[in-house]
């Protein structure tokens, strides 16, 4: 073996990763004092780090005593002998405390530099070392098909660079948000390790993904590792054939972000048109700040077997939160995937990729969908521009504005639904003829104002909650009790006739005639339309009306009235109902008449 052994070769030798050449390396070490010295130095470093891999038996009292001693003022003391278990426990506590606040990048040399990560989005720390292994100096010598082993001693400290842009897609019904961040990472030629931390956030680590957006033929993501005993940390291994800044996209799911739509409608003075303004309020309680963020909203129900909030809070990234929940309730590990018939709960075993399989059609739209478009049962809205949405903040974002929407003022009277009140509605259609129709309108709350025509002043008309309005569908907004429209029904006369008797001479049936009068008044100075529904106590009836009506069902009719400003109308009708034996006779006659019609019709056609 010619020359000296490289650091990577020594690392593989110490960790028994290269069995084929182990004998040759051992022979070389026996003959080369310099390589043997470097081997001994690496052994010393690994011996210190090995304390993290040992099961150290340190009780809570010992740990508390150690921390208290570290905080106490230093006093002159005599030298004491500390047992080996104390040394191991202290080393483990201090090392774990340091690793929990750092972000790493692996570049090959064995030097270690420290970065202050108390401030977010620091500039990238320079980690170039004067001492490099021969591999990093000679182009084309990297074996990208054989990812390196990366012990802690070969990792250099770095900070995650500032976000260039962010896009969030919020699935409101599932408390699920897809986040896409673009950052420029500084890579060195060879193998790079980049570590990502998500402490105090509701990020789901199983959904983490990292992809280069440029120089894809020179940069490859090899793997994502979650180091043991280090919570809320993931580490990517990146193979790079280039040096310098490369733009990457980090994607993940997060919980705690939601949105709510609300609208403001302004009626013209004649109440024949309306201006509609849509807004979206986005609330962020995810623990993560979103800067320069484009916001997209998904309307539609998404079903997940695991909640993202539970995935984010679990101790280890790939443990099922429902499995841990089952253990808390005393279920056996072997039984945790079975169905609990008594409580109706099922504990799934699918990984997160399988669980989200139903969203594949939506999630594949990463770069293609930037407009408002339908996605089968889902619909995607993109809010124009970008915003900064900080954690614990809520922000109102404009959604759309539509002018000159033709509307109709509609007043309804229905005693079964509204009692003795007349209810006002504003009606319009979500289509192109009404200057709408580009997208469905999400459910939300709406406030309606009327332009009084006096120096642009507005008067509050009413408020309501609206449901999802598909394209080309008509909507009626309930604005509550009407002012200025009155409907008063009165019974003018009642009498009975056509009695039938049983064999004993007792009354067995009769017909009842009731005469009604409806007084309708429009005290407003506008044309209006009034709908009046009347319900009857029986499905066996005949109606004699002096105004045209529409039969709704077996026991309901409706009057449609177009009324001029400050006008009155009177509706009169007589309802005949059949009772007792008369009802049976009437139904038999109706059935016989319908049968006769069916029998005669084919002959007429022939």
187 CB-near residues (< 8 Å, 6+ apart):
219, 238, 240, 242, 243, 244, 245, 246
Domains, in order of start, for the chain: 486-592 (2.60.40)
334 phi and psi angles, rounded to 5 deg: -70, -20
Name the range with the highest mean pLDDT among 92-101, 227-236, 524-533: 524-533
Q: Is pTM beyond 0.85 here? A: no
Closest to 429 in 3D by CA, of 383, 476, 387, 465? 476
Res. 49 pLDDT band, cuts 50 70 90: low
Largest CA distance in the chain: 133
Q: Is 506 helix (H, G, I), strand (E, B) or coil?
A: coil
Res. 67 pLDDT band, cuts 50 70 90: low
Helix 22-31 crosses helix 7-14 at what angle (to 10 degrees)? 120
Least confident of 11-15, 163-167, 346-350: 346-350
Closest to 409 in 3D by CA, of 400, 422, 418, 396? 422
Statement: residue 377 has pLDDT above 90: no
- Identify the pLDDT of residue 68: 64
Residues 29 and 5: their CA atoms lie apart, in Å, by: 9
Query: b or e along 18-38 (b: 16 or more beta carbons within 10 Å of the residue's beta carbon)?
Result: eeeeeeebeebbeebeebeeb
Q: Is 173 helix (H, G, I), strand (E, B) or coil?
A: helix
Residues 253 and 178: their CA atoms lie apart, in Å, by: 5
474 CB-near residues (< 8 Å, 6+ apart):
427, 428, 429, 430
Pull the structure tokens for residue 204. 């789901």
Statement: residue 255 has pLDDT above 90: yes
- More reliable by pLDDT, 557 or 83: 557
Can you tell me the mean pLDDT for 340-357? 35
Statement: residue 79 has pLDDT above 90: no
Query: What's the chain's average pLDDT?
Result: 74
Pull the structure tokens for residue 338. 């079975």
- More reliable by pLDDT, 8 or 533: 533
SS3 string, 198-232, reads: CCCCCEEEEEEEEEECCCCCCEEEEEEECCCCCCC
Statement: residue 322 has pLDDT above 60: no
Name the range with the highest mean pLDDT among 107-121, 161-175, 400-414: 400-414
Closest to 380 in 3D by CA, of 178, 166, 202? 178
Query: pLDDT exceeding 70 applies to what percent of the chain?
Result: 66
- More reliable by pLDDT, 75 or 413: 413
- More reliable by pLDDT, 102 or 420: 420
Query: pLDDT exceeding 90 applies to what percent of the chain?
Result: 37
Pairing status of strand 444-451 against strand 257-267: parallel
A 10 A CB-CB count for 100 gives: 14
Residues 229 and 477: their CA atoms lie apart, in Å, by: 57
Beta bridge partners of 541: 577
Residues 42 and 36: their CA atoms lie apart, in Å, by: 10
Q: Is 598 helix (H, G, I), strand (E, B) or coil?
A: helix
Can you tell me the mean pLDDT for 190-197? 86
- Identify the pLDDT of residue 99: 27
Closest to 475 in 3D by CA, of 274, 280, 268, 301? 274
Can you tell me the mean pLDDT for 391-397? 92
Pairing status of strand 163-171 against strand 176-187: antiparallel
Least confident of 225-229, 270-274, 483-487: 225-229
- Identify the pLDDT of residue 265: 94
Pull the structure tokens for residue 477. 């907004």
List pLDDT tens digits, range 585-601: 998 888 888 887 776 65
Residues 487 and 531: their CA atoms lie apart, in Å, by: 10
- Identify the pLDDT of residue 358: 38
Q: Is 6 helix (H, G, I), strand (E, B) or coil?
A: coil
């Amino acid at each position: 073996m010619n020359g000296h052994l490289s650091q990577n070769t020594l690392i593989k030798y110490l960790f028994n990763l290269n069995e084929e050449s182990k004998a040759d390396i051992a022979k070389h070490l026996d003959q080369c004092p310099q390589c043997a010295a470097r081997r001994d130095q690496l052994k010393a470093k690994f011996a210190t780090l090995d304390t993290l891999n040992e099961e150290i038996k340190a009780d809570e009292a010992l740990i508390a005593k150690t921390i208290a001693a570290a905080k106490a003022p230093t006093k002159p003391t005599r030298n004491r002998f500390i047992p080996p278990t104390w040394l191991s426990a202290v080393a483990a506590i201090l090392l774990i405390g340091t690793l929990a606040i750092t972000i790493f990048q692996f570049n090959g040399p064995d030097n270690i530099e420290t970065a202050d990560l108390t401030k977010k989005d620091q500039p990238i720390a320079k980690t170039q070392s004067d001492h490099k292994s021969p591999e990093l100096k000679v182009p084309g010598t990297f074996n990208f098909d054989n990812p390196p082993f990366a012990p802690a001693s070969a990792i250099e400290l770095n900070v995650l660079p500032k976000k260039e842009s962010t896009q969030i897609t919020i699935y409101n019904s599932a408390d699920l948000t897809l986040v896409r961040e673009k950052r420029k990472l500084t890579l060195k030629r060879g193998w790079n390790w980049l570590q990502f931390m998500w402490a105090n956030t509701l990020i789901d680590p199983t959904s983490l993904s990292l992809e280069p957006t440029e120089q894809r033929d020179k940069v490859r993501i090899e793997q994502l590792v979650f180091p043991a005993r280090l919570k809320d940390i993931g580490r990517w291994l990146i193979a790079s054939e280039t040096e310098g800044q490369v733009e990457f996209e980090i994607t993940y799911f997060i919980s705690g972000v939601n949105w709510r739509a609300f609208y403001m409608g302004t009626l013209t003075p004649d109440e024949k048109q309306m201006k509609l303004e849509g807004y979206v309020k986005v609330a962020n309680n995810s623990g993560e700040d979103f800067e320069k963020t484009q916001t997209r909203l998904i309307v539609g129900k998404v079903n997940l077997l695991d909640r993202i909030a539970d995935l984010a809070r679990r101790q280890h990234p790939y443990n099922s939160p429902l499995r841990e929940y089952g253990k808390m309730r005393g279920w056996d590990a072997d039984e945790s995937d079975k169905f609990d018939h008594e409580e109706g709960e099922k504990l799934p075993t699918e990984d997160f990729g399988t669980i989200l399989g139903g969203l594949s059609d939506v999630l594949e739209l990463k770069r293609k969908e930037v407009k408002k478009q339908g996605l089968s049962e889902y619909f995607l809205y993109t809010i124009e521009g970008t915003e900064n949405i900080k954690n614990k903040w809520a922000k109102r974002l404009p959604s759309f504005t539509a002018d000159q929407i033709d509307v109709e003022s509609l007043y309804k009277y229905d005693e079964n639904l509204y009692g003795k009140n007349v209810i006002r509605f504003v009606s319009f259609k979500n289509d192109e003829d009404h200057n709408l129709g580009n997208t469905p309108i999400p459910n939300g709350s709406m406030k309606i104002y009327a332009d009084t025509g006096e120096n642009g002043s507005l008067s509050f008309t009413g408020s309501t909650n609206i449901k999802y309005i598909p394209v080309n569908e008509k909507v009626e907004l309930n604005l509550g009790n009407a002012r200025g429209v009155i409907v008063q029904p009165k019974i003018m006369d009642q009498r009975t006739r056509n009695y039938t008797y049983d064999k004993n001479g007792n009354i067995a049936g009769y017909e009842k005639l009731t005469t009604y009068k409806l007084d309708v008044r429009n005290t407003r100075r506008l044309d209006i339309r009034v709908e009046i529904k009347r319900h009857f106590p029986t499905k066996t009836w005949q109606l004699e009306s002096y105004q045209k009506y529409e039969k709704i069902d077996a026991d309901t009719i409706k009057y449609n009235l177009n009324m001029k400003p400050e006008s009155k109308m009177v509706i009169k009708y007589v309802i005949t109902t059949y009772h007792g034996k008369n009802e049976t006779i009437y139904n038999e006659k109706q059935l016989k008449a319908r049968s006769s019609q069916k029998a005669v019709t084919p002959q007429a056609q022939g």
